Each structure stands twice: as structure tokens, then as C-alpha cells.
Amino acid sequence: MKNEIKMKTGQTFPLTIKRLGINGEGVGYFKRKAVFVPGALPGEEITAEATNVQSKFTEARVKKIRKKSPHRVTPPCPIYERCGGCQLQHLDYKSQLVEKRSILVQALERYTSLNISDLNIKETIGMDDPWNYRNKAQFQTGTRDGQIIAGLYVPNSNRLVNIEECIVHRPVINETIEAVRQLMKDLAIPVYNANAKNGVKTIVVRAGFETGEVQAVVVTGSNDFPKASLFAAELMKRKPAVTSVMHNINPGKTHLVFGDVTKRIAGSETITEKLGEFEYDLSARAFFQLNPAQTEKLYDEVKKAANVSPTDKVADAYCGSGTIGLWIGRKAAEVRGMDTVAESIADARANAKKYGVKAKYETGPAEKWLPKWQQQGWTPDVLVTDPPRTGLDRKLIQTIKTVKPKTFIYVSCNPSTLAKDLAELVSEYKIEGIQPVDMFPQTAHVECVVTLKRKL
């Protein structure tokens, strides 16, 4: 319309929040254009201030809450609004579970033409205690006022927030990171410098929930790690729970935390974690679920959905350390898995051997191994995938539609990519049910177990 007045940055306007977006932000509509407001909750009436005006949407901040949601609570974390690691601490936990299912439904409505009422989308499985659940932290290092700090970057910025205590981490993780930071100061170990390309970039700490074992990984920008042996010995002395100290080398500018080379400084190469009846040996770069308590619930849902029989052949794509395949396939005729990380495959082979599971694991993408195995006469009856947030590789989707396992269990950590993938898969598969599981309380993330059956 010719006479329409364009919104400007800094403009204030009334807004009613209709829903939560994929990143946990409130979503409302002003003059038929979507407005995204971090910190706003469904049902709230606010005065919004535009911070980023685009042709198709506007980003805004809450200037005033005129009508507050009854589900709004005070975030217990003192740096919640600065950190950005959590997005939903201001929403009571029962409502978080409701909204996460809603986020899933919205993604399916947006990216598929499926009839949502036919999909059997269940209520989100939550936690009894939704705090102190994470078993791993990756904190970037920096300096401020001459002091070494460690924490997370404010979203969409280069501002590092120092985090002394994160209330979604296991306490031992916070304590270990603080010990590493203090040791860097005591031993004059430098923080990463992009010009010199040396120093510590990232501190990575993982803790076994059941075993109590802790692994500390120091990621540097070069091979040089001064006083590494002294650092490791002192860390293990100050924090006896630390049983593994590793050094990873990640040169150059990259968004990836780890480089390709990992060296042992002291202790063992791995730590052990227990899930149910299984123990898993985890190397520094091996993928493992970040919330072990909820992982058992998630894997039990996968096991129930897969319903593996003694004659079934099971394929585990993106297998990591073999966790899901071993969990669901112990009674199967054979389990086969693949992953692009060689260390994960080594862990998976060791784990399968430990539990006497007939299994075969190979390094490489599933779109390479599934057709190769089929040519050799091995086609899975059950396929389970647990891909990264980017979803299934396009080649893998085509491979699945060609190989056609009878049962396909898709474990997703991103409703948007899940919905896009399902839109392509429904030509060959029927969706029997979707079970959301809250793996990351206080955040906008939602995990799902989708049961698909091959159409006859």
C-alpha cells in the first residue's frame, strides 16, 4: 500500500504475543508482519521496541509488559539475560514442556502439508528436576581487565560472558573449569591470540554422571602447550575427580571447537559413563548425549518404537559411540553402524565387544555404507538415525528411500529440519507417532523420536 508508514528502528508499538518461536522468542504480529521478541511469552501484551526492521519481519525487545503471563517466573540465574545459553528460564517448567510440543507442531505446519491431527504427537516427556543436568561444557577463553575469563559469547556478538557457575551444568563441571582457569593464571599459560596463533582457545569438560569421572580437554591454536605436564598434574591434584587430561589442537579460525589432533597429557584416554545396564568409554571428541538422565528415557522410547526382534538387522546411522544401536539392538541378529568421526567408531567397536553384541562399525557416511551393504546382501529391517541439527544429508534421504528399511526411527534435535526431512520421506513412509522429549530444560531445544513405517 502506497500510504503505509514503514516501521523504523527504535519505534515502539503495542504487541500481543501469540506463540514461541524456534529459538524461544515470543512471536506476535504487527500490521500483518511477524515480530520476534526475546523474553516475551505467549498471551502477554507488551509495548515492543523495534531493534531490527526487515522487509518480511521485525525483531524487537520488550520495553514494557502491560499484561503478564501467569506462567512467567523469575529466572534463578544472575546472568541469564546476558549469557544466552538458556532461553526459557523465565517460563515455568510445565509450560516449557507444553510450548516445546507447540514448537514441533508449528514446524510441521510450516514445512509439511501433513494433517497434524493424524500424526499422534504425544505430550513432551520432561524431567523431575530440570537443573544441573548437563554433563559437558565448552567454554571459550578470553581476557578482561587483565584477568582470564571463560564462558560463552553473547548470541550474535563477540562479547564473552564470564560464567563462574552455570546452574544447568553438573557442579563438578563448573568447579573443574574454574580450576583450569585458575591454573592458567597461576602457570602463566596464555589465552589464544589470533596473531600469534597460540594459546588456549577453549576449555572442554565432560563428567560421568554415574561414575563421577571427569575429563578436561584444553584446546589450543597450535601444537604449543607450555607446561602441559605440570598443568595436568596440578589439575588432577586440585580436582581428584579428573581422571583424564587431554590436549586438542585446532589451528585457524573456525566455528568448530575441536581440531583433528588430540593428545593425552595425563590419565586415561577416555572416561566411562553408565546408562542403564551399559557402560560407555568416551574419548574427547566422541559424541554422547548431554543429559544422561533424559537419555535413558529417550533411548527407551527409541527401543519401544523400534520393537526389534531376534531376526532383525539393525542399522545405526550417525552412531557416535554406538549408544542407541546397542541400547535397542542387543537382541537383534546384527547391528551395523557408521559415523564420520574415527574415534567414535573405535569407541563403538569397543563397546559392542564389551557387551557381546554382534556388531559391525565403519567410518564414513551412511549414504556410502547402506547401499554398499545392500549390494552385499545386507539390508536393515530397522534403521535408526540421530543426526546433528542440520538434519539428514540429502543423499542419505535418497538412500533411505532406495534401501527402504521396514522401520525407520528418526531421532531429531531440530523440529525445523525434522519437518523438512519428513516432507521428503512421507512418499515412502507413514508416520506412526512422534514423541517429544525434553533433553535441555530451560532452553528452546526439543528432541523428538519419530516412528516411520515403510508403506506397502
What cell numbers appear for 151 in the block? 564462558
Q: How far is CA 258 from the centre of its chain?
A: 16
Query: Looking at 77, 86, 319, 413, which residue is catalytic?
Result: 413
Task: Go through the chain and tell me how many residues it has.
Answer: 456
What's the 3-state SS for the chain? CCCCCCCCCCCEEEEEEEEECCCCCEEEEECCEEEEECCCCCCCEEEEEEEEECCCEEEEEEEEEEECCCCECCCCCCCHHHHCCCCCCCECHHHHHHHHHHHHHHHHHHHCCCCHHHCCECCCECCCCCCCCECEEEEEEEEECCEEEEEEECCCCCCEEECCCCCCECHHHHHHHHHHHHHHHHCCCCECECCCCECEEEEEEEECCCCCCEEEEEEECCCCCCCHHHHHHHHHHHCCCEEEEEEEECCCCCCCCCCCEEEEEEECCCEEEEECCEEEEECCCCCCCCCHHHHHHHHHHHHHHHCCCCCCEEEEECCCCCHHHHHHHCCCCEEEEEECCHHHHHHHHHHHHHCCCCEEEEECCHHHHHHHHHHCCCCCCEEEECCCCCCCCHHHHHHHHHHCCCEEEEEECCHHHHHHHHHHHCCCEEEEEEEEECCCCCCCCCEEEEEEEECC
Q: How many CB atoms lie within 10 A of CB 350?
A: 16
What is each CA distance from 104 to 273, 416, 420, 432, in whole angstroms?
30, 8, 12, 16
Q: How far is CA 96 from the centre of its chain?
A: 17
Using CA atoms of 384, 210, 347, 127 in order, give the dihedral in degrees to the nearest 10.
20
C-alpha 287/C-alpha 339 separation (Å) is 10
Does residue 413 carry a catalytic annotation?
yes
Q: Please give the positions annotated as active site.
A: 413
